[in-house]
Structure 1
Amino acid sequence: MKNIHLIANAHLDPVWLWRWQEGCSEALSTFKTVEEMTEEFEEFVFNHNEAILYEWVKDNSPGLFQKLQKAVEEGRWNIMGGWYLQPDCNMPSGESIVRNIERGRRFFREYFNSLPTTAINFDSFGHSRGLVQILKKAGYDSYIICRPAKNGFSFEEQDFEWEGLDGSTILVHRSDENYNSVWGQAAKELMEFLPLKVEEEVTLFLWGVGDHGGGPSRKDLQDLKELAENNKDYNLIHSTPEAYFKERITKVKEFPRVSKGLNPVAEGCYTSQIRIKQKHRELENELYSAEKMAAAAWLQCGRSYPEKEIKDAAGALIFSEFHDALPGSGSPLVETDTLRLLDYGLELMSRVKHSAALALAQGEKRVKEGTSVILFYNPHPFDITGVFSCETGLPVQNWSTDFMYPKVMFEGKQIPAQAEKESSNFNLDWRKKIVVQATLKASSINRMDVYFEPIPKRPVFAEIVSRPKYILDNGSMKVVIDTATGLLKEYSVKGVRYLEEESLQLVCFEDTHNPWGFGKWESRSRRAFQLLTPHEAAEYCGLSEKVIPAVRIIEDGEVRTTVEAVFGLHDSKAYIRYHIPKKGSCFDVEIGVHFQEKEKYLKAILKTPEEYEALHGQIMFGREELNKDKETVSQKWTMAVDGTMDKALAIINNGTHGASYTGREFGITLLRSAGYTSSDFIMGKALQEEQWAPRMEQGERFYHFRIQGGAAAEVERMIDREALVFNEEPYGFSFCPPEEGEAAGQFITIDNPQVIISAVKRAENFDGYILRVYESTGKSAKANIRMLDGRINQEVSLGGFEVKSYKIDLAEGRLTETGLIEEYQAENRDEAIRD
């Protein structure tokens, strides 16, 4: 008889249409009821994952938690999956996914002595190809998903071999029956499903009431028991994912192979609730740069490592990655809670970073009389050249009407510097935003002494609207702005054109009200924002007594020129700022949108001179070619590339994930004004009540991009490093050093741009530190890693897209390769740290 592995579960979203408090309560209720059922029904096995839910039980119902431990020990309850929670599987970095798995596996190993080998992400909206290597190195041999559904594959089989970027593979089961069953209908649904899978020699069936918990009902269990006793065709087994795969691989020797990401799925989720996505990226950036700084501060200066603060911030980050929080498919209350949680993590990391920076600044000489000091800590293992800014105060408040202009000395030389509008509007010449062009030394403090000289007034800049175009040419790069439209007319590098006229136009498209969906494909209508009139520009900028041009220079100096243009569409307004440096081949774009449209999506459109052959994007621990015919998802960068023309155009972002490239239009998706959790269902169309209903992204939203064109090979080689620097900016702060202690020196350097640091952090399983690196281009690489001024100086080798973790062994003066996921060992850690 054919074995049917019944996997009882209760898909329980911690948040979705409800807040975490209700998710917590439902976990307690579901777990209590199901534990009783495992005692009542012989041979019944219940499966559940997500350590966060078990933590809630442990903290709020210790007696029930002890019963769960006993049930697991007796085999009535199976720990499934083993992650902390089921995240979005596209937008978090590879490092974030490692932390999710690490935290979950540590919890289940410590409290249940369980180490699952089948990972599960039933409800995630697609899966990054970078997951394969992570899963293999985390100890998994199999994976269960429900999305994309079978219509997203070229074969009928539910099981297939998924190949990762590095060539590793994992066996995946695509559950075509989905993860839920209707209360009391499990047996009926099973008998409807099995005829569709008659070719399978063994079958897996997920069942149990879910989404809001519940799991098996007594009626379902009784019905399944009767079905098992009365049918002659199937052997129904209450089972586990691991048992299914163990039998499956004995029945089939060869599976279909998939060698790409399992996308797209629910494309609207790549952009919905954009503030969560931006703040999630910000916390990723701050957490991982704070860890590097805290590790350096301890190993170089003896400053204690802030383990609890980092653990709490990492917990906030992981929870925000839940697959109905980060994708923007939760309710308005979930959006509010997630933003609040991310802010909590950001506040913790702001304190960690500043404390580490102060420690790393020891040994700096006292401030010179009449000057101010700004310091930049570069957390990266390589020198970085670019434009950097920091606010400081004058050494003495200026009570005159003169404007004090900065002159900056760095390493004994004067460097290009300018004063720009500070963040405050207190109309006294006192606070200064200093902008410099400099090369910051790797992994160390960079000190700049600021002198001030009086000029008669704050600089004003020549008008440009009388010219048909405004040209900025620094010798390496040419940027032309059309003063009649406010749009980019040309971007060239070394005489090669990468963008054409009407680039960076803001365009609204018809959208669905559904946060998971994307676009009304039957209607491709588009409405572009238009340049405001001078009166409208003044009104938008809040200048009631002035009339100003809609396109104007707002900053200029030795370092860069900033041009601002303001636009409108119906009741919506926007500004674009072009930050064009006096050196280099890339420039930054800042966009602010005050959006009032409903059921629209907004793109910034860049137009290329010709259509590029491919679109690539960064994914977990690597990169992948994206589908040009679909809305795509990627991480810190997206790039149009053409090897034949030897051209690449990369857009680096700090929290936008959706993009498209159709014809010659490169579209960066900024926002969607869909309804919250809005879906047409059995009661009819959503959002038809005759009352006001909130839509997403009503109000101000802000964006920052870097645009880089160049020869294909060079841009592809450097893009991951450039995107990392753009996201994890050097930490700039104003400080009057007390001249105490000895200078810290350089913490770490890596001499190959292909090799990227993913983390430097305190270890979980020994009293020391972990370094994690990966190869970013897909080509094997060697790199020399030098730490602590030469105490460690070692060459490492990585295959294409390979991830490796190393123990930093100071006693031996070497790096020792270790596992990707750290096993928890209580005897090696303080109880205070563990708790």
Structure 2
Amino acid sequence: EWEEGAAEALSTFRIAADFCEEYDGFVFCHNEALLYEWIEEYDRELFERIRSLAARGKWHIMGGWLLQPDCNMPAGEFFVRQILWGRQYFKEKFNVTPTVAVNVDSFGHSRGLVQIMNKFGYKGYMGMRPSKHFIDLPDGGFKWKGYDDSEVICLRTGGYSSGKGKVGIKIRTYVDDCAENDIGLCLWGIGNHGGGPSKEDLDTIVELQNEYKAQDVTLVHSTPEEYFEEIGKKDLPVIEKSLNPWAPGCYTSQCRVKQKYRYAENTYFTVESMCTRASMDNLIEYPKTELREALHDILTVQFHDMLPGSSIKDAEEMGLRMLDHALEILSRLRAKAFFALASGQKKAPSDKIPFFAYNPYPYPITGDFVAEFNLWDMVWDKCYFSPVVYDENGTVISSQCEKERSTIPIEWRKRVVFSATLKPMSMNRFECAFEKKEEKPKADVEATDTHFLVNAGDKVVEINRKTGLIDCYRDNKTDYLKSGALALEVWQDNYDPWYMETTKWDTKIGEFKLLNQAEATEFMCLKEPIDSVHIIESGAVRTVIEAVFGYNRSRACVKYIISSNGELETDIKMEWLEKQKLVKLNIPTAFVNAKCIGEEPYGREEMRDNLEENVAHKYLTLFNDTNAISVLNKGTYGSSLEDGALKMTLLRSPSYCSHPINEEHPTMPKDRFMQHIEIGEREFCYKIVAGEKAEILNKSARLAQLYNSEPMCLSFYPTGMGELPSESVTLADTDIVQMTAFKKAEAGRGSVIRLFNPTADKQTATLKFNEKTARVCFGKYEIKTVLLDENGFAEADIMA
């Protein structure tokens, strides 16, 4: 847990400071602003001592991030915030700006990091993984090219530690292995993460320096910057891919942390945007302190043993606790901004219930949205109140009523689903009237003895009543899925949460099967028999069909949510009771020779086939020459491909922090019970969109962002006081470019808009605010930072 980390930092830094003063030439190199924050808070005297050593060149600040994060799963913007936090801290406290980023212990590295580091002025990058067993990389350094063709020099290091009293062995081995090289970099230290120096090892290095001097070999205590300055003079080979895979189990282990982390990222984006918008009209004071507190929690959970799920259970709970702390802060800020942005809204008429939806994006968004609220009073009569929703122009829009979250068997609580287009960065008003009916209308879905058939816009969906699976998803031109789609497959796994010895799961051992009627009735705690596949909602907006499955003692309730716009969602609630097994959701496309790309941090990359485990973010798109299907998710990072089928990795249940060593050191105890990960209830959400290749490839990024960062919808009665907010910021002339951040400028003057082109094609867009406009041009996968102040729009540094 973090307290142990703080204690270790205090001890290591005290010892290192002593040695810096005792040994001539010795320079202690360390990164991670978080550790320095702890030293500053818990031992101010030591902190000032370190500052003095750093000023004299005896202590070197390297890396310059808040901590060493997982380098695959954070969103691109949250890598920006990770670096920005460390940059600001080390500049303020030490007046230094490292130029070589250091993540030696992270479990692989996304290619999206290159552009981000380049924009922060980094010249080099050091990482240890993946090892040579997993990926072939040039020795001695290479140029790592990003999605946008920017570059940093990269070095795969050897092991970062040496063990107490063993530095001599490591250095001798390194020198022998690199005898033909003119320069080399050898990392040493004690402890799992490099740790600090020991007197014994420092004395050994002094002896080795004298010994090797006679052999015309110079050993120097140095820094990453000095080493990269030297290798930067060489003609280095170029690598154009992510540095993966290693430990693919970490793309899935401890899925609760991953899902809540994703939710925290998305919530932060929405709340920051709302607060910035509200402060522009002086409706609220920009809550910089509160936002930074929440952000610190989110960035801390990026730690490379926490977000990947390789930690002990206590650390898992700590990560969830930190994220809950951030989310509670954000929840309060969101409410404050929401009510402020509702300024000037007129009072509601007595016969309608008002509700509002705030769109945090600078462009219109269209979709199915949900508002849940109480009627004016409890209605005890046996009847049904059917909603009629009006937009702010008084036009009736498509809506339907669905089962509310509570279970109170009277007419009181209403959950209204409605289809709408929301104006950009604005409060959108709706009003709901109700028609009193004798009973709720019965679901009206076409059915045969074997299938439910749903016509949804230009799509047709057929759900097999005998298997519970999707047998057809097509339009009038194309079949997108093979029959038997969305099966929950079970694969053999092991005890290792890293899964560090290979890169794929290749032994399928079963599937969840549809429960029979008796099993379904028992699982759902019903007294009357119920079919295992049944309709639970049907209306003008969407149809919802539910199916219940089992595997051994585990159960799954799967909802198929079929929108009238043709999009297909699945919501999976699973009661998982299996150990050392893994679950994948099988999505077999009907495409031949399909390729697949997945979203990466500020980029996207082609996924590997043949069941190799891949890591990606909010969407994956499979496509052939003419058509495509995108799968959006809310917190799933691992997946694999086999013969045109995408297999989303939902969960796995290894033991907590069980690290294989070798056969002489068995990992799992044989004399006690050991807890396994993910035993219990878990939930997973996916959306499938399909159509022509170009259209789907272009719109998937925005759709996935909206699926994850939905508008806030809330019913309340405005006072009619105040003035409506001024004109909003808009992003026009593009339906591709994304806004990934809208925040107050770091210096406090003006607002910052971060934009991203998620395609390999050049794009242009127009920013507008009041009378101010700016044309923004993008290269492939390019990030742009734009400052908006009293002078208008201007492109700015990423640290703005």
TM-score by length of 1: 0.93
Q: Per-residue CA shift, 1:609-656, capped at 9, x if unaligned?
A: 23343110001112111212311001110111222xx11111001110
Q: 1:529 aligns with which of 509, 512, 531?
A: 512
SS at match of 2:220: strand
Inter-partner Cα distance in structure 2 for 1:815 and 1:141: 29
Secondary structure of the corresponding residue to residue 497 of structure 1 = coil
* Distance in structure 2 (CA, Å) of the matches to 1:156 and 1:341: 39
2:727 pairs with 1:742: no
* Displacement after TM superposition at 1:212 (Å): 5.9
Alpha-carbon distance in 1 for matches of 2:441, 2:163: 69
Residues 528-607 of structure 1 mapped to structure 2, 5 A cutoff: 528-543=511-526, 545-582=527-564, 584-607=565-588
Tell me the CA shift for residue 607 of structure 1. 1.2
SS at match of 1:329: coil
Does the CA-based 8 Å contact 2:597-2:604 persist in structure 1?
Answer: yes
Alpha-carbon shift at residue 297 of structure 1 (Å): 0.7
Q: CA deviation at 1:210?
A: 2.6
Q: CA deviation at 1:746?
A: 4.4
In 1, Cα distance between equivalents of 2:271 and 2:665: 49
Secondary structure, aligned partner of 1:720: helix
Taking a change above 3 Å as real, the CA distance of residues 337 and 522 of structure 1, as seen in their structure-2 partners, is closer
Per the TM alignment, residue 304 of structure 1 is displaced from its structure 2 partner at its CA by: 1.1
Partners in 1 of 2:455 and 2:446 — Cα distance? Answer: 15
- Do residues 124 (structure 1) and 111 (structure 2) align? no
Q: Does 1:470 align with 2:452?
A: yes
Which ranges of structure 2 fall in alignment gaps of 5 or more residues?
none
Contact kept? 2:245, 2:503, Cα under 8 Å:
no
- What percent identity do the matched residue pairs reach? 36
CA distance in 1, matches of 2:190, 2:353: 64
Shift of 1:151: 3.4
Q: Which one of the candidate residues 628, 651, 654 is aligned to 1:648? A: 628
Q: Does 1:431 align with 2:409?
A: no
**Residues 300 and 747, structure 1, Cα contact 8 Å, conserved in 2:** no
Amino acid in the other structure paired with 1:354: A
After TM superposition, the structure 1 stretch with the greater mean CA deviation from structure 2, 189-198 or 256-265, is 189-198
Q: Give the 3-state SS of the residue equivalent to 1:397 in structure 2.
A: strand
Aligned equivalents of 2:476, 2:276: Cα separation in 1: 41
Instruction: Report Cα offsets for 1:121-171 as digits up to 9, x if no partner.
Output: 101111111110111111110111101113344454230010011111110
Match of 1:760, SS? strand
What's 1:340 paired with? 321
**How far 1:28 moved relative to its partner?**
0.4
Deviation at 1:63, TM superposition (A): 0.5
SS of alignment partner, residue 430 of structure 1? strand
C-alpha contact (below 8 Å) 2:445/2:538 kept by paired residues: no
Query: Which of 129, 132, 136 is the matching residue for 1:150?
Result: 132
Would you say 1:760 and 2:770 are equivalent positions? no
The secondary structure found in structure 2 opposite 1:638 is strand
What corresponds to 1:114 in structure 2?
A: 96
TM-fit CA distance, 1:457: 2.7
Q: Distance in 2 between matches of 1:419 and 1:208?
A: 63
Report the Cα offset of residue 26 of structure 1. 0.5
Q: What residue in structure 1 maps to residue 118 of structure 2?
A: 136
Aligned AA (1:794): A
- 2:598/2:606 contact within 8 Å kept: yes
Do the aligned partners of residues 624 and 213 (structure 1) sit closer, same or farther apart at CA in structure 2, a change above 3 Å counting? closer
Are the counterparts in 2 of residues 444 and 745 from structure 1 also a CA contact under 8 Å?
Answer: no
Report Cα offsets for 1:526-584 as digits up to 9, x if no partner: 210000111211221122x22111100001111111000000001000011111112x2
Gaps of 5+ in 1: 1-18, 823-835
Counterpart Cα distance in 2 of 1:522 and 1:86: 28
- Preserved contact between residue 370 and residue 396 of structure 1 (Cα < 8 Å): no
- In structure 2, the residue matched to 1:357 is 338
Which secondary structure state, in structure 2, belongs to the residue aligned with residue 350 of structure 1? helix
The structural deviation recorded for 1:723 is 0.8
Give the one of 287, 290, 304 matched to 2:268. Answer: 287
Q: Which deviates the most, 495-504 or 566-575?
A: 495-504
How far is 1:105 from its partner? 0.9
Which amino acid in structure 2 is aligned with residue 400 of structure 1? D
Name the structure 1 match of 2:87.
Answer: 105
Matched, 1:404 2:382: no
Distance 1:194 1:392 in 2: 71
Partner of 1:445: 427
Q: Structure 1 residues 26 and 115, CA, compared in 2 at 3 Å: closer, same or farther?
A: same
- The DSSP-based 3-state class of the residue aligned with 1:382 is coil
Q: Does 1:817 align with 2:795?
A: yes
Give the Cα separation in 1 of the matches to 2:692 and 2:136: 36
Give the aligned partner of residue 229 of structure 2: 246
Alignment partner, residue 722 of structure 1: 703
Q: Aligned partners of 2:476 and 2:332: how far apart in 1?
A: 43
Aligned residues between the structures:
793
| Map of 2:200 onto structure 1 | 219
Counterpart among 52, 57, 61 of residue 39 in structure 2:
57
Please give the alpha-carbon distance, in whole angstroms, between the structure 2 residues aligned to 1:520 and 1:211: 23
Q: Distance in 1 between matches of 2:4 and 2:489?
A: 39
Contact 1:576–1:589 at 8 Å: present in 2 too?
yes
CA distance in 2, matches of 1:521, 1:772: 36
What is the CA deviation profile of residues 209-262 of structure 1, one whole-angstrom value per residue up to 9, with x for unaligned ones?
Answer: 132664111000001100111223320000101111122234x2x111101111
Task: Note if contact 1:510-1:520 (Cα within 8 Å) is conserved in structure 2.
Answer: no
Asked if 1:665 is matched to 2:648, the reply is no
Per-residue displacement from partner, 1:420-478 (whole Å, max 9, x unpaired)? 11111122221110111111122111111111122223444369886211111134111
Report matched runs for 1:363-512 at 5 Å. 363-410=344-391, 411-461=393-443, 467-512=449-494
**Distance in 1 between residues matched to 2:547 and 2:455, nearest whole Å:** 19
* Structure 1: distance between partners of 2:613 and 2:134: 15
Residues 254 and 677 in structure 2, CA contact (< 8 A), matched pair in contact too: yes
Alignment-derived partner of residue 247 in structure 2 = 266
Please tell me the root mean square deviation across aligned C-alpha atoms, in Å.
Answer: 1.6
2:77 and 2:740 in contact (8 A); partners too:
yes
- What SS does the aligned partner of 2:321 have? helix
Shift of 1:660: 1.1
Q: What secondary structure does 2:389 align onto?
A: strand
Q: Deviations over 1:304-341 (max 9, x none)?
A: 11111111111111001111011001110000000010
Kept in 1: contact 2:297–2:322 (CA 8 A) = yes
Alignment-derived partner of residue 685 in structure 1: 666
> Cα–Cα, structure 1 residues 522 and 496, in superposed 2: closer, same or farther, change >3 Å?
closer
The answer on whether the counterparts of 1:23 and 1:212 sit within 8 Å (CA) in structure 2 is no
* Cα distance between partner residues in 2 of 1:60 and 1:791: 51
CA distance in 2, matches of 1:30, 1:818: 39
Q: What is the CA–CA distance in structure 2 between the aligned matches of 1:344 and 1:103, rounded to whole Å? A: 19
After superposition, residues 591-630 of structure 1 pair within 5 angstroms as 591-629=572-610, 630=612
Shifted more, 435-444 versus 605-614: the winner is 605-614
Shift of 1:762: 1.3
Paired letter, 1:671: L
User: What one-letter code is carried by the residue in structure 2 that aligns with 1:654?
Assistant: K
Any conservation in 2 of the 1:626–1:632 contact (CA below 8 Å)?
A: yes
Q: Separation in 1 of the partners of 2:566 and 2:382?
A: 38
8 Å contact from structure 1 (residues 639, 648) kept in 2 = yes
Task: State the distance in 2 between where 1:523 and 1:346 align.
Answer: 38
Equivalent in 253, 276, 280 of residue 257 of structure 2: 276
Q: Distance in 1 between matches of 2:728 and 2:289?
A: 23
State the partner residue of 2:767. 785
The one-letter amino acid of 2:309's match is: G
1:815 Cα deviation after fit:
1.0
| Shift in alpha-carbon separation, 1:541–1:465, aligned structure 2, 3 A | farther
CA separation in 2, counterparts of 1:438 and 1:591? 26
Q: Quick check: 1:371–1:394 contact (8 Å CA) kept in 2?
A: no
The aligned counterpart of 1:825 is none
Q: 2:51 aligns to what SS in structure 1? A: helix
SS at match of 2:114: helix
